[in-house]
Amino acid sequence: MHNKTIIFLLLFLLFLFSLPVWLSEYPPLTDYPNHLLRITILKEFGNAHYNFSEYFKLRNFPVPNVISDYFILFLSNLCPLQIAGKIYLNLYIILLPLSLFYFLKIVDRRKIYLGFFSFFFIYSFYFNSGFLNFCGSIPLFFFALAYWWKIKEDGNTLQFIILSFLFLLVYFSHIVALCVLIWVIPLCQILHLMGKKNMIKTWASLAPSLLLFLSYLSYLFFFLEESSAPKAWGYASLWGTIANFFRYSFISFSKVEALFYLVPLLLLGIFLIQTILEYRVVHEFNRLFRWRKLSLEMTFLILSFSLLILYFALPVYFGGLWWGVNIRLVPFVFLLGLVAIDITISSKFLRTPISAFVIFLLVLLPFYTWEQYNRFQEDFRDLTSGISYFRSSQTLLPLMIEPAGFSYNTFPFWHSWAYYHIAKGGAGPYLFSDQQQNVFYINQLPRPPAPTFFKPEDFDIKDYLRTYEYVLIWGHNLLVEEKVENHYSLIHSEGKLKLYEKSEEEQKITER
Count the Cβ atoms, other than its own, within 10 Å of residue 210: 15
What is the predicted pLDDT for the residue at 71?
94
What is the predicted pLDDT for the residue at 249?
80
Q: How many helices (H) and strands (E) does the chain have?
A: 19, 9
Tallying the residues shown for the chain, one arrives at 512
Report the Cα 31 to chain-centroid distance in Å.
9
Q: For the purposes of burial, counting CB atoms within 10 Å of the CB of 477, is it exposed (0-12), middle (13-18) or buried (19 or more)?
A: middle
Q: How far apart are CA 265 and CA 491, in angstroms?
A: 51
Report the Cα 442 to chain-centroid distance in Å.
22
Count of alpha carbons within 13 angstroms of residue 220, beta-carbon side: 21
Digit-by-digit pLDDT tens for the chain (512 residues) are 567 888 889 999 999 999 999 999 999 999 999 899 989 988 988 887 888 888 787 777 778 888 998 999 999 999 999 999 999 999 999 999 999 999 999 999 888 888 998 999 999 999 999 999 999 999 999 999 999 999 988 888 899 999 999 999 999 999 999 999 999 998 888 876 665 667 788 889 999 999 999 888 887 776 655 544 445 667 777 888 888 888 888 888 888 888 888 777 777 777 777 766 665 555 566 666 555 667 788 888 889 989 999 999 888 776 655 677 888 999 999 999 888 887 776 666 666 777 788 888 899 999 999 999 999 999 999 999 999 999 998 889 999 999 998 898 899 999 999 999 999 988 877 655 555 556 666 666 656 778 888 888 889 998 888 889 999 999 999 999 999 999 999 999 999 999 999 977 766 666 55
Phi, psi of 193 (to 5 degrees): 50, 60
Q: How far apart are CA 184 and CA 170, in angstroms?
A: 14
The answer to whether 428 and 450 are in contact (CB under 8 A) is yes
Cis peptide before 448 (omega within 30 of 0): yes
70 by DSSP, 3-state: which?
Answer: helix
Reported pTM: 0.90
Distances (CA, A) of 38 to 112, 191, 404, 441: 38, 43, 22, 10
CA distance from start to end of the chain: 77
Collect all residues with Cβ–Cβ distance below 8 Å to 55 and sequence separation of at least 6.
Answer: 427, 430, 442, 443, 444, 445
| Residues 319-349 as b or e (16 or more Cβ within 10 Å = b) | ebbbebbbbbbbbbbbbbbbbbbbeebbeeb
Q: How far apart are CA 16 and CA 333, in angstroms?
A: 26
Q: How far apart are CA 173 and CA 158, in angstroms?
A: 23
Collect all residues with Cβ–Cβ distance below 8 Å to 465 and sequence separation of at least 6.
Answer: 487, 502, 506, 510
In the DSSP assignment, the letter for residue 26 is S
The answer to whether 167 and 123 are in contact (CB under 8 A) is no
What is the predicted pLDDT for the residue at 150?
92
For CA atoms 254, 256, 260, 264, give the dihedral sign: positive
Question: Per-residue DSSP letters for 123-174?
Answer: TSHHHHTT-HHHHHHHHHHHHHHHHHHHHTTT--HHHHHHHHHHHHHHHHH-
The answer to whether 397 and 465 are in contact (CB under 8 A) is no
Q: How far apart are CA 396 and CA 79, in angstroms?
A: 27
Q: How far apart are CA 37 and CA 46, in angstroms?
A: 15
Distances (CA, A) of 164 to 186, 215, 424: 16, 17, 41
